[in-house]
A and B are shown apart, each in its own frame.
Chain A
Amino acid sequence: MNTSSAIRLVAARELKVKIKDKTFLISTVFFLLFGLGSAVLPAIFGGGASSVAVADAATATTLRNAGLEVTQVGDEAAAEQAVRDGDVDAAVVTGGGDPKVLAMEDAPGDVVSALSVEPAVQLLDPDAVDPLLAYLVPFGFAVVFFFTSLTFGLQISQSVVEEKQTRIVEILVASVPTRALLAGKVIAGGVLALTQVALIAAVTVISLQLTDSGGLLSLVGPAIGWFVPFFVVGFVMLAALWAAAGALVNRLEDLQGVSMPLQLLVMLPFFLVVFLNDNKPVMTLLSYIPFSAPTAMPVRLFSGDAAAWEPLVALGIMVVAALALIAVGARVYEGSLLRTNGKISFGAAFRDKESRRLAEINK
């Protein structure tokens, strides 16, 4: 049997086990609701056009031309009653003189402005994006990357510890190369994480399409499209390190401590992007640092701050970083996987010579 079929078998087992796992199912459902909500909520908050009841035909035409939902009623008393009954948001009565807007609690701005003459306004620095969305979208990317990366990263660690703790690793290593075990786990974790992220992206795009208000999709769409490759590279970049963290300990209880630096590596960019996403120089920097790029670059693309070539460069930097970190992770993993007496330090595992000798005898 060759290495690639060993990798396939290992990955298939990991997938089979994880798909039945409740954590995976629950987090997937949670994020799907999250994606749905983030698309639907702005439409709800933004509200639609007001409905308005009018008796006078000329006024009705004016309002209709302004894009309002107009109900023509018999007389002005009926119009007022329609407002009181809640059938419409507002009514316009003229009472023979100037038009008057009737509403229950709030003055309906769109009705008022349809009837008024406004001076022309020219904004010199227009906000491309609704302020609410400007906050929600970065938060959305950050949350999805943070939780998914952390969840599936930790799962890779746990699966390694489980094999060490039960010592089944000795049986596995006696039959397949260590690298095949590592690759199988990283691939399975990556496939699951990517599936989850792609599902969230798809649900968000579809629900945006269904509820599309004011071309939101055209703003968020490209950012989501870029987020997926950034996410994949960002996840794979850390995956071997997650596996290495698992291999450094012998018991699940010790995993928390040893994986802390990695957790911080995922957590820190999350907070930076959430809190500093309106600080352009910082975001520019973050969008090129491999650990924060998966969140920061899509956010910059969304707010229109990034040029077309920028995501490609950032992605290139990430790929280089990923190759380096995978090499480090794999070396630490191999250097510690078969050490079953106590915790091993990262450095000792990295310098370990045993694994190279083993590779020699296992040709």
Chain B
Amino acid sequence: MTKVLHLEAINRSFGDRRVLRDVTFDVTAGRMTGFVGANGAGKTTSMRIILGVLAPDSGEVTWQGSKLTREDRRRFGYMPEERGLYPKMTVRDQLVYLGRLHGMTLDGVRRKVDELLEWLSLGERANDPVENLSLGNQQRAQIAAALVHDPDVLVLDEPFSGLDPMAVDTVVSVLREHTHRGVPVLFSSHQLDVVERLCDDLVIIADGGIRAAGSRDSLREAYTQRRFSLLVAGDAGWVRDLPGVSLVDLDGARAVFDLADDADDQVVLRAALERGPVRSFGPVTPSLAEIFREVTR
């Protein structure tokens, strides 16, 4: 069985409010799966259900084909949405403690903690109480807490919020190292640009329902309309008169337009060349933000 974390038809309500409806998606081994959605869409609830700190009303979570047990979950790494470690404990002490709770030996966990702190550039702060750390460093310590026991699966709720771009890069390289070893990584974020850059797979949730799920590239393809961008030397206004063209945006020499299914993009290109030099011409791929807006509309 492949190493897949699978959510099958998860439902959950809080009182009368239905927060998850038939949530189904996969987190595949060795891939970074971005989990995006507006605030309150159900990301955190889904993640808490995966980790067993919240029970679903129905549906189940499986890992490598069988129902999750506590022993499986002990091998998961988790970073909760609202952060916190023991404020008065030193970084090293609490990482060692968490590693031990996950079943590591004292020697093993000490070695691992040193390695992680080095990796996350926290070595110098190892013996400081967490409350004395800057917010960015607290965040790194939090990530270290999710990684300390060499987890089989990583579930990170907003791991990049509060990190400066340098720290984002550090964390990304650490996470990549885990996916290279075949660990499935699920991370949520509302920073769509970060998700776009990092994720291999994408899950989009809105109002408690999964709106789209799949590889980033296939989603792009699926949501790519026949949209083109044309840059010519002169004014591009003439494009709107061609058959099958509906103009989206016109800015002097640049035109963005959609093509009807039966229209040929090469006809437009030829028409442009007849009028003068063409600086650029090509299909427009939608950004994640655009896809997101599209599917959650």
Chain A interface residues (CB < 8 Å from chain B): 1, 6, 9-10, 13, 17, 162-163, 165-168, 170-177, 338, 340, 354, 357-358, 360-363
Contact = CB atoms under 8 A, between A and B. Distances in A.
A340 B72 CA distance: 25
B28 to A, nearest CB: 21
Nearest to B131: A166
Contacts of B102: 1, 175
Contacts of A176: 101
B223 interface: no
A270 to B, nearest CB: 31
Nearest to A159: B86
Contacts of B86: 17, 162-163, 166, 168
Interface string B37-52: 0000000000010011
Nearest to B57: A357
A141 B289 CA distance: 69
B78 interface: yes
Task: Report whether over half of chain B's contact residues are helix, strand or loop; otherwise say mixed.
Answer: loop
Given A175-B102, A176-B101, A358 B53 contact: yes
14 contacts: A1-B102, A6-B101, A166-B86, A168-B86, A174-B51, A174-B78, A354-B54, A354-B55, A358-B52, A358-B53, A361-B52, A362-B69, A362-B73, A363-B69
A7 to B, nearest CB: 11
Contacts of A13: 97
B162 interface: no
Contacts of B100: 9
Contacts of B74: 1, 174-175
Contact of A9 (B78, B101, B146): B101
A1 B70 CA distance: 11
Contacts of B241: none
B110 to A, nearest CB: 15
B55 A174 contact: no
Interface residues of B, number: 32
A358 B98 CA distance: 21
Contacts of A358: 52-55
Contacts of B108: none
Interface in B134-169: 145-146
Nearest 8 interchain pairs by C-beta: A166-B84, A357-B55, A1-B103, A170-B80, A167-B84, A174-B51, A167-B82, A362-B70
Contact of B73 (A6, A167, A174): A174
Given A9-B101, A357-B55, A171 B88 contact: no
Nearest to A341: B14
A360 B52 CA distance: 10
Interface string B65-83: 0001110011010101111
A165 B54 contact: no
Given A166-B84, A361-B55, 7 more contacts: A17-B89, A168-B84, A168-B86, A170-B51, A171-B80, A175-B98, A340-B82
A363 B70 contact: yes
A13 B95 CA distance: 12
B259 interface: no
Nearest to B78: A174
B52 A362 contact: yes
B278 interface: no
Contacts of B98: 171, 175
B212 interface: no
A173 B55 contact: no
Contacts of B82: 167, 340
Contacts of A172: 101
A357 B49 CA distance: 12
B101 A167 contact: no
A166 B101 contact: no
A190 to B, nearest CB: 20
A166 B80 CA distance: 10
Nearest to B145: A171
A17 B53 contact: no
A357 B68 CA distance: 14
B174 interface: no
Contacts of A165: 84
B219 interface: no
Contact of A167 (B68, B80, B88): B80
Contacts of A177: 70
Nearest to B84: A166
B199 interface: no
A9 B73 contact: no
A251 B86 CA distance: 14
Nearest to A173: B53
Nearest to B49: A361
B252 interface: no
A222 B164 CA distance: 66
Nearest to B50: A174
A361 B74 CA distance: 13
Given A9-B100, A354-B55, A360-B55, A174 B76 contact: yes
Nearest to B100: A9
B213 interface: no
A225 to B, nearest CB: 37
Contacts of A360: 55
Nearest to A20: B88
A360 B68 CA distance: 11
A60 B54 CA distance: 88
B78 A170 contact: yes
A167 B55 contact: no
A357 B74 CA distance: 18
B284 interface: no
A81 B87 CA distance: 70
A6 B98 CA distance: 11
